[in-house]
């Protein structure tokens, strides 16, 4: 039944009665000005319990995507994909049936059968069959599991791991050693990401790849690993059914790893230290094998990226991007406590609401900017940046007509600041433009205060960077006007410890949004300056993405 209704989302934000399904929030009455009331109203709506944690492919999750498309239409954006606000992303959900599955380490001193999901998590990316098994697979400790010719590093040198189970440390050698000459020192490279480790293990022919969790190098506690890797896991719908990927992937707790190494007569701490040194050689975990039997449910689905555009007045075929992911972790019935909904009000309700704030301002600009401004809300970010990956592989516009962009992910509610953190700073000429804008606010760009966490590789902008498109990853202020860097650090640590990927990431009407509004004013000005110019910013010389961009631009028409 179609009904209309009026709901109050936030102080000072009046909602418009629109035809809608009664279960879902209405749309706020907003103004073109970037302001806290509108940002708050949108965030409360998109992080509502009604959307059930915005799980891609679910009825409630796809309703959230529809809500965003309707909001884009309401504020004046044009459909961004050939008359549609959606780019369909074909995907599969693979859901492990933990009750019918097992992962056991056999050792000379008996079995180790970690308790799922408190001591291990595991899954398969393959979907040719609902049954995947690994039998009597010998264990090999391969350090960080890295093959990086540019750093003269190969953890797989001299060892054949075909059919074997590789046990891997998280992060990369520069982190634990602190040696600035190893990789990028404390700054995590892509080699430190868990996604890379599974990719490399597949190239080496491993039957299973198990990462050892440690809070400091992973940058998050076990609860994040558990919550992110239980329930349905999404993958792009590949023709080869992901048969080129490692059949069994997973994590084990640090405590489980110590016991596993001990039973093989190995000292985990000593081998961990050895793995930090050049020339490390993989170590067989003698007498230990993995037996795993996985039963999963495979569900094919279609989810959607949401795309709206403000057409350019002079160069409409060239695009500036503002992006954010709309999805979160959905509902997890097995999580402890009464609240099972992962609302994701900060991650990434704030990102969605933020680009809508900027979008409404651009949509009402007279005249329109010279170049087109596109606003994209990605799906399947929490499942491995899959929505943005799909766009990068199937771009709506030629990549060499995308000038550059900004990706917003989990920008934190906080007070105004003297700076703006740019994650992965020192990467592209976009930073020169942003620095000029920030100067008008008496602010400066600050480097990532926690480069060891590898945040540049953990959100959707990296999908575009990999194919050459320059992207910025702003992360709010750190040196706060009220309290300085100590206060900025406290905001980040509180969110990470108490709310990140937890049901407690919920909307709070008492948030101080003065910092995000300051940031959005700057990011709007940044986009306008770029849109009204003929500039084509590139990655800086020596950046790993420079070559891809230069190849693209060489073929530009």
In CATH, what number is assigned to the domain containing residue 174? Answer: 3.50.30.30
Q: Is residue 4 part of a domain?
A: no
Same structural domain, 443 and 394: yes
Q: Residue 14 pLDDT more than 60?
A: no
Tell me the C-alpha to C-alpha distance, in Å, between residue 80 and each of 77, 325, 450.
Answer: 8, 16, 35
Tell me the C-alpha to C-alpha distance, in Å, between residue 431 and each of 470, 488, 535, 540.
Answer: 10, 21, 13, 10
Same structural domain, 187 and 333: no
Residue-number span of the structural domain to which 474 is assigned: 52-90+302-554
Domain boundary among 249, 264, 298: 298
Q: Is residue 44 part of a domain?
A: no
Same structural domain, 262 and 242: yes
Q: Residue 231 pLDDT more than 50?
A: yes
Distance, in Å, from the CA atom of 544 to the CA atom of 552, rounded to the nearest integer, reads 14
- 130-147 mean pLDDT: 98
Helix, strand or coil, per DSSP, at residue 391: helix
Same structural domain, 399 and 434: yes
Identify any residues that bridge with 140 across adjacent strands, giving them in sequence order. 166, 284
Kindly give, in sequence order, each residue whose CB lies less than 8 Å from that of residue 231, ignoring residues fewer than 6 positions away.
Answer: 95, 329, 330, 332
Q: Residue 4 pLDDT more than 60?
A: no
Q: Is residue 11 part of a domain?
A: no
Domain boundary among 298, 329, 358: 298
Q: Is residue 530 part of a domain?
A: yes
How confident is the model over 112-137, as pLDDT tens digits? 999 999 999 999 999 999 999 999 99
pLDDT at 16: 35
> What predicted TM-score, i.e. pTM, was given to this entire model?
0.85
Kindly give, in sequence order, each residue whose CB lies less than 8 Å from that of residue 83, ignoring residues fewer than 6 positions away.
Answer: none
Question: Whose CA is closest to 468, among 420, 421, 536?
Answer: 536
pLDDT at 10: 32
Dihedral sign computed on CA atoms, order 173, 177, 182, 186: positive
pLDDT at 8: 25
Q: Is residue 24 part of a domain?
A: no
More confident call, 15 vs 7: 15
- 141-161 mean pLDDT: 96
Where residue 475 falls among pLDDT bands split at 50, 70, 90? very high
The mean predicted confidence, pLDDT, of the chain is: 93
More confident call, 83 vs 184: 83
Same structural domain, 355 and 294: no
Where residue 3 falls among pLDDT bands split at 50, 70, 90? very low
Dihedral sign computed on CA atoms, order 25, 346, 471, 359: positive
Q: Is residue 5 part of a domain?
A: no
- 294-305 mean pLDDT: 96
Domain boundary among 281, 298, 315: 298
Same structural domain, 198 and 75: no
Same structural domain, 321 and 261: no
Dihedral sign computed on CA atoms, order 328, 331, 337, 338: positive
pLDDT at 237: 95
Same structural domain, 442 and 543: yes
Same structural domain, 292 and 307: no
Same structural domain, 107 and 152: yes
How confident is the model over 339-373, as pLDDT tens digits? 999 999 999 999 999 999 999 999 999 999 999 99
How confident is the model over 499-552, as pLDDT tens digits? 999 999 999 999 999 999 999 999 999 999 999 999 999 999 988 899 999 999
Q: Is residue 390 part of a domain?
A: yes
Q: Is residue 350 part of a domain?
A: yes
Question: Whose CA is closest to 330, among 342, 345, 338?
Answer: 342
pLDDT at 6: 26
In CATH, what number is assigned to the domain containing residue 508? Answer: 3.40.630.10
Q: Residue 374 pLDDT more than 50?
A: yes
Same structural domain, 364 and 500: yes
Same structural domain, 353 and 227: no
Q: Could you give the number of structural domains in the chain?
A: 2
How confident is the model over 20-37, as pLDDT tens digits? 444 899 999 999 999 999
């Amino acid at each position: 039944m179609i009904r209309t209704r009026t709901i109050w989302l936030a102080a000072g934000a009046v909602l418009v009665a629109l035809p809608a399904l009664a279960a879902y929030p209405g749309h706020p009455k907003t103004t073109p000005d970037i302001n806290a009331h509108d940002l708050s109203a949108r965030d409360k709506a998109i992080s509502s319990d009604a959307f059930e944690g915005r799980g891609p492919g679910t009825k409630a999750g796809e309703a959230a995507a529809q809500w965003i498309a309707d909001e884009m239409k309401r504020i004046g954006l044009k459909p961004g994909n050939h008359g549609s606000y959606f780019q369909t992303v074909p995907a599969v959900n693979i859901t492990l049936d933990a009750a019918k599955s097992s992962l056991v380490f056999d050792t000379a001193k008996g079995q180790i059968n970690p308790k799922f999901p408190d001591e291990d998590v595991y899954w398969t990316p393959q979907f040719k069959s609902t049954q995947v098994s690994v039998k009597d697979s010998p264990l090999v400790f391969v350090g960080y599991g890295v093959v990086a010719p540019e750093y003269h590093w190969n953890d797989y040198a001299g060892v054949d791991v075909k059919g074997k189970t590789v046990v891997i440390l998280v992060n990369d050698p520069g982190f634990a050693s602190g040696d600035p000459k190893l990789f990028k020192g404390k700054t995590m490279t892509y080699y430190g990401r868990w996604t890379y480790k599974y990719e490399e293990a597949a190239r080496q022919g491993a039957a299973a790849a198990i990462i050892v969790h440690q809070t400091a190098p992973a940058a998050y506690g076990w609860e994040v690993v558990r919550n992110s890797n239980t329930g349905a896991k999404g993958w792009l719908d590949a023709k080869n059914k992901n048969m080129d990927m490692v059949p069994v992937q997973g994590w084990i707790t640090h405590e489980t790893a110590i016991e596993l190494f001990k039973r093989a007569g190995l000292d985990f701490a000593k081998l961990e230290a050895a793995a930090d040194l050049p020339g490390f050689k993989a170590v067989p975990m003698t007498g230990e094998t993995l037996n795993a039997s996985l039963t999963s449910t495979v569900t094919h689905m279609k989810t959607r990226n949401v795309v709206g555009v403000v057409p350019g007045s002079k160069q409409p075929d060239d695009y500036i991007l503002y992006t954010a992911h709309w999805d979160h972790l959905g509902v997890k019935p097995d999580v402890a406590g009464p609240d099972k909904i992962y609302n994701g009000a900060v991650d990434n309700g704030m990102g969605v609401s933020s680009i809508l704030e900027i979008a409404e301002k651009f949509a009402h600009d007279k005249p329109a900017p010279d170049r087109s401004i596109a606003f994209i809300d990605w799906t399947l970010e929490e499942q491995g940046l899959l929505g943005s990956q799909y766009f990068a592989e199937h771009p709506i516009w030629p990549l060499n007509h995308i000038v550059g962009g900004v990706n917003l992910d989990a920008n934190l509610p906080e007070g105004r600041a003297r700076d703006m953190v740019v994650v992965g700073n020192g990467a592209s000429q976009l930073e020169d433009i942003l620095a000029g804008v920030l100067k008008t606010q008496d602010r400066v760009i600050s480097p990532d205060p926690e480069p060891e966490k590898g945040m540049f590789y953990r959100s959707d902008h990296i999908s575009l960077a990999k194919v050459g498109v320059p992207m910025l990853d702003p992360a709010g202020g750190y040196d706060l006007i009220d309290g300085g860097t100590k206060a900025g650090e406290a905001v980040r640590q509180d969110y990470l410890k108490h709310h990140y990927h937890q049901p407690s990431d919920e909307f709070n009407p008492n948030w101080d949004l003065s910092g995000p509004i300051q940031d959005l004013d700057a990011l709007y000005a940044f986009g306008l300056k770029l849109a009204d110019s003929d500039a084509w910013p590139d990655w800086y010389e020596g950046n790993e993405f420079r070559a891809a961009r230069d190849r693209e631009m060489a073929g530009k028409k």
